[in-house]
Structure 1
Amino acid sequence: MRILVVNVNTTETMTHGIGLQAQKVAAPGTEIVALTPRFGAESVEGNFESYLAAVGVMDAVMRYDQPFDAVIQAGYGEHGREGLQELLEVPVVDITEAAASTAMFLGHKYSVVTTLDRAVPMIEDRLKLAGLDARCASVRASGMAVLELETQPERAVEAIVEQAAAAVEQDHAEVICLGCGGMAELEAKVRERTGVPVVDGVASAVTIAEALVRMGLKTSKVRTYAPPRPKRITGFPLPSA
């Protein structure tokens, strides 16, 4: 089984970290291929960058020329999953939805701890669109930019742990979701401080994608995610589907 894990930003070190996290939880025999878009922002922290990333991710997937069994969109609260589902028959799993759905097996309410406050509405909208918002206690911002997870790791860890603890103590969350693909290595520290299960979206998405592939399930094509209708598209960077 081969799973494409696509970073939504163009920072190669973050793609590498996401790929390592995915391979760590993958079952024996699952090959993880981590992809970086050819174009886009070095970090995705707003709607403009997110819409740009959606095209960059589709481009990266459609240019990959080897067989694959599933795709993971490794960006929290980002746009574009629906476009990938129109283009592909294989399962497409978004890490936001994967983390939240996993969290609901582990506790009554979950909270998401993310990066900047401006990302909070985007995550809330993605959870609402997916029907996962009813059991979300809160979406909290750590105040740390995405790239600061790499450049200021100690400060980032403290800020994330602090908000996770507040979500448990003040918002009555029973599970914490790490709201950024770049937070993959923080589960143990957050769990130690809060005493609750901590869910990483990349790890969740890999296990869900593997299960869908093993069950022989593919994306439904009868209506919502039917292939795009053939037509002339001027100047669009994607190769032909």
Structure 2
Amino acid sequence: MRILVANVNTTQSMTDAIAAQARRVALPGTEIVGITPRFGADSVEGNFESYLAAVAVMDAVTRYEGDFDAVVQAGYGEHGREGLQELLDVPVVDITEAAAATAMYLGHKFSVVTTLDRTVPLIEDRLKLAGLDTRCASVRASGLAVLELESDPARAIEAIVTEAEWAVREDKAEVIVLGCGGMADLETRIRERCGVPVVDGVAAAVATAESLVRLGLTTSKIRTFGTPRPKKVAGWPLPAQPEAAAAPAGAAGPPLA
């Protein structure tokens, strides 16, 4: 089984960290391939960057060379999963939804701890769209930018763990969900301080994707996520770069007139 894990930003070190976390939890025999968009922001922390990332991830996935069995979109609260589901005939799993769905097996209410406050509405909207919001006790922001998770890890750890403690104490959360693809290393620290299960979105999404592949299940194509209708789409696919790869066998692709 080969799973593409798509970072939503253009920071290669974050792609590497996300892919490493995916490999730690993947079953023996599952190959994890981390992919980085060739355009977009170096971190995604708002609507403009999120919509741009949606196009960039579709571009990156459809340019991947070779076969694959599933795609994980590794951006918490980001747009784009629906477009990938239309383009591909393999399962597509978003880390936001996978983490929240997993958390619901572990406690009555979960809280999400994320980065900047401006990302909170995006996460709330994504949970509501997925029908997962009623089990969410709160979405709390640490006040740190995404890239500070790498540049100032000690400060990031303390800020995120503190918000998790408040979520358990004040919001009555019974499970903590890490609201960023780059937070995986914080699981143990939060469990030790808060005494509750902690769900990392990348890990949950990889496990979900593996399960769907093993069960032989993928996205329904009869209505909402049907392959795009044949028509002229100006400027798509985007102009190729010298290193760009051909579309994968796993892509249904938008048929162009």
Task: Bin the TM-score by the shorter chain.
Answer: over 0.9
Q: Hey, what does 1:187 align to over in structure 2?
A: 187
Q: Hey, what does 2:129 align to over in structure 1?
A: 129
Q: Hey, what does 2:94 align to over in structure 1?
A: 94
Q: Hey, what does 2:119 align to over in structure 1?
A: 119
- SS of aligned partner of 1:140: strand
Deviation at 1:135, TM superposition (A): 0.5
Whether contact under 8 Å (1:39, 1:56) holds in the other structure is yes
Whether contact under 8 Å (1:89, 1:220) holds in the other structure is no
Deviation at 1:107, TM superposition (A): 0.2
Deviation at 1:184, TM superposition (A): 1.1
- SS of aligned partner of 1:150: helix
CA distance in 1, matches of 2:209, 2:218: 10
Deviation at 1:234, TM superposition (A): 1.0
CA distance in 1, matches of 2:113, 2:139: 6
2:112 is matched by which residue type in structure 1? V
1:135 is matched by which residue type in structure 2? R
1:3-152 aligned at under 5 Å gives the runs 3-152=3-152
Q: Scaled by the length of structure 1, what TM-score is found?
A: 0.99
CA distance in 2, matches of 1:61, 1:218: 17
CA distance in 1, matches of 2:54, 2:94: 12
RMSD of Structure 2 on Structure 1 (CA)? 0.8
CA distance in 1, matches of 2:180, 2:118: 13
Give 5+ residue unaligned stretches, structure 2: 239-246, 248-252
Q: How many residues align?
A: 241
Whether contact under 8 Å (1:110, 1:175) holds in the other structure is yes
1:107 is matched by which residue type in structure 2? G
Give the % identical residues.
75
CA distance in 1, matches of 2:193, 2:66: 43
Give 5+ residue unaligned stretches, structure 1: none
- SS of aligned partner of 1:185: helix
1:150 is matched by which residue type in structure 2? E
CA distance in 2, matches of 1:228, 1:234: 14
Q: Scaled by the length of structure 2, what TM-score is found?
A: 0.93
- Pair 1:232-2:228 in alignment: no
- SS of aligned partner of 1:112: strand
1:46 is matched by which residue type in structure 2? G
Deviation at 1:236, TM superposition (A): 2.8
1:48 is matched by which residue type in structure 2? F
Deviation at 1:237, TM superposition (A): 4.0
